[in-house]
Structure 1
Amino acid sequence: MKEIEALTRELYADSPQGTLYHYTTFSGLLGIVNSRALWASDIRYMNDSAELRHTANLIAAEVRERIDSGHADSGLLSLFVDWVSHRITNGRMLFGASFRSHGNLLSQWRGYSSPGRGVSLGFAPDYILRCAERQRFMIGKCIYEPARQRALIRQVVDAVEELAAGLGREDCPAGERSVLYRSAFSAVETDLLRIAAILKHPSFREEKEWRIVSPVFANSADSPILFREGHAMLVPYIEFGLSLDGRPLAMDHLYLGPTANINISMNSLGMFLEQNGIVPQRGIEYCQIPFRQR
């Protein structure tokens, strides 16, 4: 669908200008440096698929409003809501990883690292963009503003209505019409996933997140899926390579998170990076946030 494809291109046209930070644990740092890659998780498993549920809720609210105002084809809209709800957990796969514009936020230290064991890895934006282009990933700035999110969802539902308009004739049996409608929904699924990947609840606006997202995969056989242990399940992921031409990782900056052992932790962190040929352009910096053992 050209309208939705154009909307997706527009949303992912923004380019980051400042350093992009990835929060992780010491264990995560060791894995990233050794593999020269980040884990890009299936977005259905990121924060228990909260982002996708947020988009599904926005679609449901838009559909309710249209039905309540007397929409001519409430059956189409209701079917679309049901289809979206099902495809959240059973549809095509999109993998993503997160970066922040701010590398030293207490909320992020709490959410993405263990007490005394966290780092925030800063990369130059052009470096991440070149890595993304090589692997056919897209990078998009997350959208938090409710009004803009609702406007985007209206455009999505408008496009679905337009696509389905010529498919289901009034004399067409209900079962056949349902199949035709689902084919229309399937035509926008890839772009809907990419849009959903960057729509986040307004309460997270402090993060100023940028998200890299993979090509969309129809099934697990088409993608180089690996698995890691999550909080209560196995989480599918693919690797996002961070090395250009086999060279060491090119970090721009690095923060050490809150710790009770600042001096010796800074020392060992510097030794580890040096041993692996990594020299952050703007150095290593302590976060200056008081450490409190939880």
Structure 2
Amino acid sequence: MIKSEMPASEDAAKSVADVAEAFTPGGADDAPHLQTGSALRSIASTAVDRFVQPEQAPRRLFHYTSSAGLLGILDSNELRFSDPFFLNDGSEVFYGADMFRTHLEERLKGFGSSTIDFANRLVERLYHDRSSGRGLIFCLSEEGNLLNQWRDYGKDIVPYSIEFEMQELVFEGEFPALIFKMVYDHEAQTSVIAEMVDKYIIEIQRLWSLIENDADLQNRTIMAMSADISHVLTQFKNSAFAPEREWRLVTYPYWFNDKAPDFRTSSLGVVPYVSRGPKGGAKGGGLLPIVAVGVGPSPHGKTSQLGLSLLLHRYGYGQVPTWYSTIPAR
């Protein structure tokens, strides 16, 4: 066993318990609401801040969707939070976890069996969290007229771009959400993960003498570390998707009080989602804070825009301006 370079203390023991408690799923009253950047302030999230320039969420962001998606949002007056397994890059669920495991395995060479065993249990828990405890997401973009997005959502149909006023997008107390910008830069991702790995190895060594004979505290510590890491890895995506310029609203399954998912159709067949609406509605009448809606490239742009205007009027958004893209696309 590798001895800790830092002496064990009551403060250190308390820090373990505090961290474990912080990441134990609890009620929504204790969960953060709409926030910018790294929401969980500990080893993993501070590593992000070192290598990824923090940014305030833009005042307005855009959600691309299909005709069916637009109808669903307006008819329910709710946003649809999707499981990332069913989005355009299903591999992203394990993308960051694979990087973390690779770096950790390389870094652990030469360490004692206790450190290696604990680290392996952490990795196992991380993959469990990425599989069953991953966040549900609502995708947004900094730009509302991107050709790659039109192509993704306009396969044989007319796509739409919904512009939201982000500061007015406040959810009910039982439905908190976090917001952050996706990290595509592979060098930044690698730097964040390398620092996380180094710091977690140090932390494992520092705490081992305190948790060595307490299986429950070991498990809680592993859960705490994994939750922190998993939250950060949710922000990582393959650099090939950088043109999307994506931000995300993210929530977690245990914030839904076991709400059963609904289903929609997609190119993958039927896929699950969970929906929620805004609190009160700053625009009055409980409406979503929609600023404008655009129609994707189409040879019938003006006709599609007219239909869109009629649809918005039907659902109480008659004052919301519309537009159509003039990007030449077939």
Is the shorter-chain TM-score for this pair beyond 0.5, marking a shared fold?
A: yes
Q: For the aligned residues, what is the CA RMSD?
A: 3.3
2:276 to 220, 223, 240: 240
What amino acid maps onto 2:126 in structure 1? Answer: V
What amino acid maps onto 2:119 in structure 1? Answer: L
What amino acid maps onto 1:284 in structure 2? Answer: T
Q: What residue in structure 2 maps to residue 38 of structure 1?
A: 79
Q: What residue in structure 1 maps to residue 143 of structure 2?
A: 102
Residue 82 of structure 1 pairs with residue 121 of structure 2: no
* 1:132-281 equivalent positions in 2, closer than 5 A: 135-165=175-205, 168=208, 181-215=218-252, 217=254, 222-229=257-264, 231-232=267-268, 235-242=271-278, 244-245=280-281, 246-279=285-318
Structure 2 gap ranges (5+): 1-18, 20-40
SS in 1 for 2:228: helix
Question: How many Å apart are 1:18 and its aligned residue?
Answer: 4.3
SS in 1 for 2:108: helix
Tell me if the contact between 2:58 and 2:142 (Cα under 8 Å) persists in the aligned partners: no
Tell me if the contact between 1:12 and 1:138 (Cα under 8 Å) persists in the aligned partners: no
* 1:6-155 equivalent positions in 2, closer than 5 A: 7=46, 14-47=55-88, 49-68=90-109, 70-72=110-112, 73-89=115-131, 91-128=132-169, 130-131=170-171, 135-155=175-195
Instruction: Calculate the TM-score normalised by the size of structure 2.
Output: 0.73
Tell me if the contact between 2:302 and 2:324 (Cα under 8 Å) persists in the aligned partners: no
Structure 1 gap ranges (5+): none
> What is the aligned-residue identity percentage?
24
C-alpha separation between the residues in 2 aligned to 1:158 and 1:35? 47
Tell me if the contact between 1:120 and 1:255 (Cα under 8 Å) persists in the aligned partners: yes
Question: How many Å apart are 1:116 and its aligned residue?
Answer: 3.8
Q: 1:267 to 1:54 in 2, by over 3 A?
A: same
Q: 1:103 to 1:36 in 2, by over 3 A?
A: same
Per-residue CA shift, 1:234-283, capped at 9, x if unaligned?
544321314634433332222201222222211111111122221465x3
Q: 1:197 to 1:46 in 2, by over 3 A?
A: farther
Q: What residue in structure 1 maps to residue 22 of structure 2?
A: none
C-alpha separation between the residues in 2 aligned to 1:210 and 1:185? 29
Question: How many Å apart are 1:284 and its aligned residue?
Answer: 1.6
What amino acid maps onto 2:315 in structure 1? Answer: N
Q: Compare 18-27 and 180-189 and name the one that shifted more.
A: 180-189
Q: 1:153 to 1:234 in 2, by over 3 A?
A: farther
2:324 to 273, 286, 291: 286
Instruction: Calculate the TM-score normalised by the size of structure 1.
Output: 0.80
SS in 2 for 1:17: coil
Tell me if the contact between 2:161 and 2:296 (Cα under 8 Å) persists in the aligned partners: yes
What amino acid maps onto 2:125 in structure 1? Answer: W
